[in-house]
Chain A
Amino acid sequence: MRAFASSFVRELDFLSRNFWDRAMVSWFPAMLLGILAWVFGAGVVRDLPIVLVDQDQTQISRELGLRLDAAPAIHVVASILDFGEAKQFVQARKAYVVVLIPSGASREILQGNSAAIEVFYNASYSTASGALLRDVNSVIEDYSAKLAMRQTAALQPSGVRPPPIKVQSTLLFNPQRSYEFQLVSLLHPALLHLAFMIAVTSALGRELRDRTIGEWLCERWSTVPAIAGKIAPYILIFMGWSLVVTVYLAKFRGWPIQGRVSLLILAYLCMYTAYSAIALALVGVTRSMMQSLSVAGIYAGASFAFTGAIFPIQSASGFARVWSQILPFTWFTKVLNGQWSMAGPPEVAIGYIGILCLFTGLGTLIGLPGYINAATQPAVWGRR
């Protein structure tokens, strides 16, 4: 216990004396978390630019244009005749979508036929185009229903009936279709686990680089509590940041946690412990601060892409699926998704937390002997 406490105090003392090392666990990650929160602060996209190519030039086409502009996601920046010119708008990123009303559209409608409205969307920008397509579709569908009523009333005044089936589309667990909730809830822990892993890898590797590991781990019998005492301040600091980002989204942005908060907090704790163990393994094996940091970057740097929470990883290549599974962050996001928005069963979450603990065990097993051993071998110290 004494070794744990003295190591703990020693690390805090180091942080208090070194501005940039302190920055890497305090205001620097805080600033990055803040930027991510701001980027997605709007949550839903509004007033994205589209171009209307109205070759019909009738009352019907003009009304459709007005209705499109009135939809929340849509802002009609130009109404022109030439499709080529409209494409220029998209290439210059002044519009994401072009809605083309062909000439003769209203004649078709008045004759009782269907007119095809062509919607061209910039698939290179999928988020913006996706949001626009949804609104464009619903505006056209609504207007189509209105036109149908008007037309049928004109042809056979007695027999106006709505179409026999109506489809109501709802998103469970995120009915507001908020990108803020979907992305920020994942991006914040993604950033935190990276910053945490860097901090712990640096803290462990620094003792080797600065040749201080020998005097720090000199008492053979107390090495394990000493190492735990060194990592503990970082776990505390990052648990603090985790609470801050969770409260930010749950309380200030209005995305309450549907499941159990305690499980989410436990998952954070076990994720950090798992990454501590992996950091220990990296430093224990490479015995170099620089190398272990580089490997940590390759290992965890892309974990956001490999979680499968944004894009389906299940249908990706075998390598990608295996890579996804050897990242504790993947299992953490399963707990987060299950508990935050879905109120999923606690047993499932506890299972995932168990997997996080496996990483801790395995990482410690690999890294601890090598790291303790390095403390008695001055020849491996000081590598840059």
Chain B
Amino acid sequence: MIARAFFATFKAILSDRPAFLLLGVSFVLYSFFYPSAYTGQVAVRLPLVVVDLDNSASSRSLAVKIGATQQARVVARAPSLNEAQILLEDERATAIVLIPSGFGDEIRAGGQGVVSLYGNGAYLLRSGAALSGVATSLGALAVESAKDQARTLGAPAANPLKVIERPLFNTREGYGSTVVPGVVFLIVHQTLLMGLALLAATLREAQGRTKFPLRTFLGIALAFFVLGVAEVFYFSGFVFWLQDYPRGAGRLGDLLLSGGLFVSATIAGALALGSFFRTRERPVQIWIITSLPIYFLSGLSWPIEAMPHWLAVFRRLFPTSSGIQVMIGLNQMGAPLSNLWPDLANLFGLTAAYGVIAVCRLVDFSGGAGLSSLTKGRIALSQKALSGADER
């Protein structure tokens, strides 16, 4: 009975083209399409504009040295800050180095020359980190420039502390590898949720609220579970390998367990939610507009610690929130399951809670609809539409 419902579910998916596109095709399409947005490489050398208002020997030598650092390349020299700003607005440069007039005199007199570095805050996420790199390398140049000063005044204060930055885990730090490995589990979630809801809504529109025997219900859930686990492995195995994202840091068994929990929570939620839809097209509408907020609630691109407390609690209602964290933990950070237990427990809790709702809404313990209704929903809907047209 479970097995027959299992196969009937796949038959239902295959016989409904939009559902098949959503459940069987869209994630493959997305797996190639979405990462392409992030193929841009992290700018190794930040394009800079130098504004030298001092025009002294010291300032010129500093400008030359800036161009020779690893973090930056000088793309233009501008006579004033205003003109440099235009280059910034045109995106021809990412930052401006301003050497004020009097800079050389100040250094020769044994004082401190101040160099200003301006980044483009309109592109905060891009320029924030890169800018601090340039600032650090400018600071290092200071020591070299100090040699002139040292000849006359003696050595200046040394730098007692220096910082060495080392990335942990996602060591390539590409744009793609920080976003896509999280987003793909949102894609898994949204396609499963809305594909299932689409089929459920079609059934409901065609023949009203339908309840199934428990075994049929389990067969349906199992079919979607298998589909979901296959998607998780398709992304964690094939796509991450193809795109060369960090992967395989955790154990395969851990991945199977966690991926399975994430998919079960998603399927349980989809069954519970799907039972409420009454119009076939509605799930597609919802799928498109909810993805952005659900992604930012996951806590990958915006730290959970910075969210208001109630949102930090509310976000746990979405399987993606814990799912993305767990999968990043396993695929990128190689975390043992013991470190991920709060999120795993949450996924388990969601499976149970949504599962109970789904059973209450969809299971009839004293019988319920036959298997044939599974695949006939769409046909019934078309016939209904036709007869409606005849009446008109």
Contacts and interface: CB of A to CB of B under 8 A. Distances in A.
A152 B160 contact: no
Contacts of B127: 171
Interface in B104-145: 107, 110-129, 131-132, 135-136, 138-139, 141-143, 145
A269 to B, nearest CB: 20
A35 B112 contact: no
B164 interface: yes
Contact of B40 (A297, A312, A319): A312
Given A123-B168, A163-B142, A168-B117, A41 B329 contact: no
B79 interface: no
A323 B161 contact: no
Interface in B14-37: 18, 21-22, 26, 29-30, 33-34, 36-37
B239 interface: no
Contacts of A48: 303, 305-306
A90 B162 contact: no
B165 A298 contact: no
A26 B329 CA distance: 38
Given A133-B129, A171-B127, A301-B291, A316 B156 contact: no
Interface in B54-73: 62
Interface stretch (B215-223, B229-237, B281-289, B357-365): B281-289
A171 B131 contact: yes
A127 B22 CA distance: 32
Interface string A279-310: 00000000001110110111011101110011
B166 A137 contact: no
B292 A191 contact: yes
B26 to A, nearest CB: 7
Interface string B325-337: 1001100111110
A384 B16 CA distance: 10
A260 B122 CA distance: 16
B116 A122 contact: no
Given A315-B40, A384-B280, A169 B161 contact: no
Contact of B389 (A32, A38, A211, A304): A211
B6 to A, nearest CB: 25
B80 interface: no
Interface of B is mostly: helix
Contacts of A323: 33, 36-37
B302 A165 contact: no
Given A39-B307, A314-B91, A167 B117 contact: yes
Contact of A182 (B88, B124, B138, B160): B124
B167 interface: yes
B250 to A, nearest CB: 10
Contact of A90 (B89, B129, B293, B333): B333
Nearest to A42: B306
Contact of B329 (A93, A145, A156): A93
Nearest to B147: A164
Contact of A39 (B170, B179, B311, B334): B311
B296 A187 contact: yes
Given A39-B302, A338-B89, A293 B284 contact: yes
B292 A304 contact: yes
B35 to A, nearest CB: 9
A160 interface: yes
Contacts of A90: 168-169, 333
Nearest to A136: B163
A20 B282 CA distance: 9
Interface in A75-126: 87-88, 90-93, 96, 98, 108-109, 112-126
A349 to B, nearest CB: 11
B281 A293 contact: yes
Nearest to A211: B389
Given A91-B335, A114-B158, A160-B157, A311 B126 contact: yes
A169 B169 contact: no
Contact of A93 (B91, B164, B325, B392): B325
Nearest to B246: A124
Contacts of B171: 123
A40 B306 CA distance: 8
Q: Among B36, B117, B164, B378, which residue has the most Cβ atoms of chain A within 10 A?
A: B36
Contacts, number: 377
A316 B38 contact: yes
A57 interface: no
A174 interface: yes
Contacts of B143: 163
A211 B118 contact: no
Contacts of B38: 305, 311, 316
B160 A114 contact: yes
Contacts of B287: 297
Contact of A164 (B34, B43, B117, B156): B156
Nearest to A337: B122
B34 A302 contact: yes
B155 to A, nearest CB: 9
Interface stretch (B254-262, B266-274, B380-388): B380-388
A181 to B, nearest CB: 8
Nearest to A202: B285
A157 interface: no
Most chain A beta-carbon neighbours within 10 Å: one of B36, B122, B311: B122
Most buried by A among B37, B96, B279: B37
A371 interface: no
Nearest to A114: B162
Contact of B289 (A20, A195, A289): A195
Contacts of A225: none
Contacts of B305: 45, 47-49, 128
Contacts of B302: 39-40, 127, 179, 183
A147 B162 CA distance: 12
B159 interface: yes
Closest 7 CB pairs of A and B: A174-B121, A171-B121, A165-B142, A148-B157, A91-B335, A123-B167, A92-B339
Given A40-B302, A173-B122, A315-B41, 8 more contacts: A90-B168, A90-B333, A123-B173, A127-B303, A159-B154, A166-B112, A211-B389, A293-B285
19 contacts: A20-B282, A42-B306, A45-B305, A109-B161, A115-B161, A124-B169, A151-B157, A161-B156, A162-B156, A164-B107, A172-B122, A182-B121, A182-B123, A289-B281, A293-B281, A297-B284, A297-B287, A320-B36, A320-B39
